[in-house]
């Protein structure tokens, strides 16, 4: 189907009539020619100090696939895979050998790579917290969002220096207090007799993640290389070198 659409695109835009076989051969030739560069980009990201990772759904011949992104300020690597989680990340091969700071969202698969120092992005949490505050009317979510924004503001004021140890401790105490409130508002449901764990729901899962991955969520307070709302993996600036 994709070759047929590509052939139609050639006809509509260029007035050129090409066969689907010609298109397939051209794609194969270009792929072979660019693979050395793709591997160099993957190696450069793998050895970088900070990298951003994300994955998003895409349709390939009508089937759900996942576009995995790994990038730095100047380099971007895409890989389309049939799976979203750990197996795909291992096969792609960047995260297993990455030893820097990995900036990502709350997908549990990222926790499997112990060599990396993990950092959860604050902007992603703000979106989730806004949903919990509005849809579930849980005040702790709005309080937590205010805390994250205050941390962000104070970090910007402190640059180029990091936040002081006393200020970090104050933020940490507030963080822990609000998380406890969030966990208490969303206790683990009693067993239902069915297989598997009872579901916490969106508010409970968010509070649980913020509790169990507090170090990653607060990484930006201690490491100025970690951005708050500049998740490079969700965008692709024109100045980057992109590999797929």
- pLDDT recorded at residue 195: 72
- pLDDT recorded at residue 240: 47
pLDDT of residue 236 exceeding 70, the answer is no
Confidence at 162, pLDDT banded by 50, 70, 90? confident
* Cα(91)–Cα(46) distance, integer angstroms: 14
Confidence at 244, pLDDT banded by 50, 70, 90? low
Q: Provide the CB-side half-sphere exposure for 197 (13 A, CA).
A: 6
Of the candidates 156, 172, 160, which has an alpha carbon nearest to the alpha carbon of residue 228?
A: 156
Task: Record the tokens describing residue 184, joined without a space.
Answer: 């208490």
Cβ(209)–Cβ(144) below 8 Å = no
Strand partners, 65: 58
* Cα(63)–Cα(142) distance, integer angstroms: 38
Q: Provide the CB-side half-sphere exposure for 156 (13 A, CA).
A: 9
- pLDDT recorded at residue 243: 54
Task: Record the tokens describing residue 83, joined without a space.
Answer: 């799976």
Which of 35-39, 86-90, 166-170, 187-191 is predicted least confidently? 187-191
Residue-wise pLDDT for 124-134, tens only, equals: 999 999 999 99
Residue-wise pLDDT for 203-222, tens only, equals: 999 999 999 999 999 999 99
Domains of the chain with bracketed CATH: 2-7+17-119+233-243 (3.30.420), 122-228 (no CATH)
Confidence at 234, pLDDT banded by 50, 70, 90? low
């Amino acid at each position: 189907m994709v070759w047929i659409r590509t052939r139609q695109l050639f006809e509509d835009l260029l007035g050129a009539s090409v066969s689907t076989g010609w298109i397939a051969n051209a794609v194969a030739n270009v792929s072979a020619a660019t693979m050395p560069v793709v591997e160099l980009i993957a190696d450069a990201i793998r050895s970088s100090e900070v990298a951003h990772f994300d994955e998003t759904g895409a349709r390939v011949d009508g089937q759900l696939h996942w576009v995995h992104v790994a990038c730095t300020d100047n380099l971007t690597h895409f890989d389309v895979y049939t799976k979203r989680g750990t197996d795909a990340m291992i096969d792609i091969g960047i995260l297993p050998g990455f030893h820097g700071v990995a900036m990502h969202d709350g997908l549990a698969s990222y926790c499997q790579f112990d060599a990396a120092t993990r950092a959860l992005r604050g902007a992603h949490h703000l979106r989730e917290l806004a949903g919990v505050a509005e849809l579930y009317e849980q005040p702790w979510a709005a309080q937590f969002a205010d805390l994250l924004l205050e941390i962000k503001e104070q970090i910007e004021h402190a640059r180029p220096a990091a936040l002081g140890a006393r200020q970090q401790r104050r933020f940490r105490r507030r963080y822990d207090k609000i998380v406890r409130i969030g966990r208490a508002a969303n206790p683990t449901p009693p067993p239902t007799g069915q297989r598997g764990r009872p579901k916490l729901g969106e508010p409970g899962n968010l509070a649980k993640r913020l509790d169990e991955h507090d170090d990653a969520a607060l990484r930006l307070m201690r490491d100025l290389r970690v951005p708050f709302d500049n998740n490079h993996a969700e965008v692709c600036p024109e100045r980057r070198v992109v590999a797929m």
